[in-house]
Structure formats: C-alpha cells, structure tokens
Amino acid sequence: MRTAAELKTAAAGLVVSNPGILGGNPVFRGTRLPVQMLFDYLADGLSLDYFLDTFEGVTREHAQAVLSYGYARIAAELD
C-alpha cells in the first residue's frame, strides 16, 4: 500500500509523481500520461492543439499551466 509521503506534487498539484504509476515519472494529475510527452511534442514541432487532440485526458488550461510553471522555474533559476 502506498503512503501519502510517496506521492509528490508540482505545478500547484497539476503534476504528480507516485512510485506506483509509471515508476514515479511525473504525470498529469488524474492520468497516466507523462508530462515529458507534452514537452517532447512541442520540441518536435508539433502544436499544442495536436497534443490535446491526441491525449484527451489533458485540458488546454492544464497543459498551459504546466508550461507556465516550467517557464517560471527557469526564470527563477536565472534571478
């Protein structure tokens, strides 16, 4: 049985990491979809709309919030 201490969250709870789900890789809350997929799609030149059409479990607001969170982390490291 997993304990609450093993569950980690980021991006205001939009991203979770649980050792019992994909070996603890960060996923969008409520899915088994790795957050890395969003970044991979965009890095490969695919659109956010294409990503959202492909993975229906993630909303536009959710994806945009995760991207904004990622940018904020980068900006904070440079301050």
Query: Per residue in 18-42, pLDDT tens?
Result: 999 999 999 999 999 999 999 999 9
pTM, full prediction: 0.86
**Residue 17 three-state SS:** strand
The structural domain count of the chain equals: 1
The mean pLDDT of 48-55, rounded to a whole number, is 97
pLDDT (0 to 100) of residue 6: 87
CATH number of the domain encompassing residue 8: 1.10.10.10
Domain boundaries, position 47: 4-78
Phi-psi region of 41 (alpha: psi -120 to 50; beta: other; left: phi over 0): alpha
* Spatial CA neighbour of 28 closest among 44, 6, 41, 12: 12
